[in-house]
């Protein structure tokens, strides 16, 4: 995979434990996405790659329509593409994926959407801010006040996703959406192979300096050094430098 814009860069690694890298990412001038194909499901690799490609294509052809609809349409396109692939190959019927994407709309606003537990963070004014909320059982318990944030971080429910793209579901999962208040700062998209190995403070420190490619490579290396129990993928975008 290659980088098309010097203001954005990605890096991915299979890790130290798994045989396949089921993560995928895409980078264009306006669309950035990371997807994490489901472990234990056939075709996780195909599902994540198909999802980011379909979403990116859908957003590239978007012309003047409602930007909120465009983000939802991108997730629908990703979901439908996975179902189509699964229908053509019954052994892949279960395949699914998470996806987090960021898109700079026609007005220059950056819109974020996510399904599953791949995340987006914004580093601005020296502060790392999570932009997304995971779709998993630990988060659901946290939302209901049955866990504290501290308990949720180590709860086994964090590994059970409550929403994914694909997996044969006829219902299109609606993404959680977020509009960035400004257009400055450094954006990070990542699969859980990053944030399950590194704390937010570690991520903030590694993300802060150098080019997007240097930061992306440094984050992946740190996740590997911390154990590399999962595939790890990051996309780093300098907002405001190319808008």
Name the residue with tokens 């866990």.
147
Rounded to whole angstroms, the Cα distance separating 234 from 171 reads 28
Tokens of 41: 């499901």
Using the contact rule CB under 5 A, the part of the chain among 28-36, 71-79, 128-136, 212-220 near Ca ion is 28-36
Count interface residues toward Ca ion (CB under 5 A).
5
Region from 25-33, 83-91, 149-157, 223-231 binding Ca ion, contact rule CB under 5 A: 223-231
Q: Does 117 interact with Ca ion (rule: CB under 5 A)?
A: no
Q: Candidates 8, 15, 30, 36: give the one binding Ca ion (CB under 5 A).
A: 36
Q: Which two tokens stand for residue 36?
A: 């994490």
Residues 6+ apart with CB under 8 A from 202: 222
Query: How many whole angstroms from its chain centre is CA 225?
Result: 21
Regarding 238 and contact with Ca ion (CB under 5 A), the answer is: no
Query: Is residue 192 close enough to count as binding Ca ion by CB under 5 A?
Result: yes
What residues contact 89, with CB distance under 8 A and at least 6 apart? 43
Report the residue number, 36 or 217, with the smaller CB distance to Ca ion. Answer: 36
The piece of 33-41, 51-59, 72-80, 156-164 that touches Ca ion (CB under 5 A) is 33-41
- Closer to Ca ion at the Cβ: 7 or 191? 191
Q: Are strands 185-190 and 99-104 parallel, antiparallel or unpaired?
A: unpaired
CB of 2 to Ca ion, least distance (A): 22
Choose, by CB under 5 A, the member of 230, 235, 237, 239 that binds Ca ion: 230
What DSSP state is assigned to residue 47?
H
Instruction: Find the distance separating the first CA and the last CA of the chain, reported in whole Å.
Output: 23
- Asked if residue 217 binds Ca ion (CB under 5 A), the reply is no
Interface residues with Ca ion (CB under 5 A) are 36, 191-193, 230
């Amino acid at each position: 995979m290659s980088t098309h814009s010097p203001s954005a860069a990605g890096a991915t690694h299979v890790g130290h434990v798994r045989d396949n890298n089921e993560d995928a990412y895409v980078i264009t001038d306006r669309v950035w996405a990371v997807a994490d194909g489901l472990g234990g499901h056939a075709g996780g690799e195909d599902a994540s790659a198909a999802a980011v490609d379909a979403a990116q294509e859908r957003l590239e052809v978007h012309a003047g329509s409602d930007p909120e609809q465009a983000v939802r349409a991108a997730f629908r396109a990703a979901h439908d593409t996975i179902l189509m692939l699964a229908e053509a190959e019954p052994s892949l019927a279960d395949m699914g994926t998470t996806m987090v994407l960021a898109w700079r709309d026609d007005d220059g606003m950056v819109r974020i959407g996510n399904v599953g537990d791949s995340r987006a963070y914004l580093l601005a004014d020296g502060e790392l801010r999570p932009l997304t909320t995971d779709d998993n059982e630990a988060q659901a318990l946290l939302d209901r006040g049955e866990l504290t944030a501290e308990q949720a971080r180590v709860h086994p429910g964090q590994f059970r996703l409550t929403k994914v793209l694909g997996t044969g579901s006829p219902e299109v999962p609606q993404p959680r959406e977020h509009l960035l208040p400004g257009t400055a700062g450094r954006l990070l998209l990542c699969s859980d192979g990053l944030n399950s190995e590194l704390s937010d403070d570690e991520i903030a420190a590694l993300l802060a300096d150098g080019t997007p490619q240097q930061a992306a490579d440094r984050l992946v290396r740190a996740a590997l050094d911390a154990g590399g129990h999962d595939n790890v993928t990051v996309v780093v975008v300098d907002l405001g430098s190319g808008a």
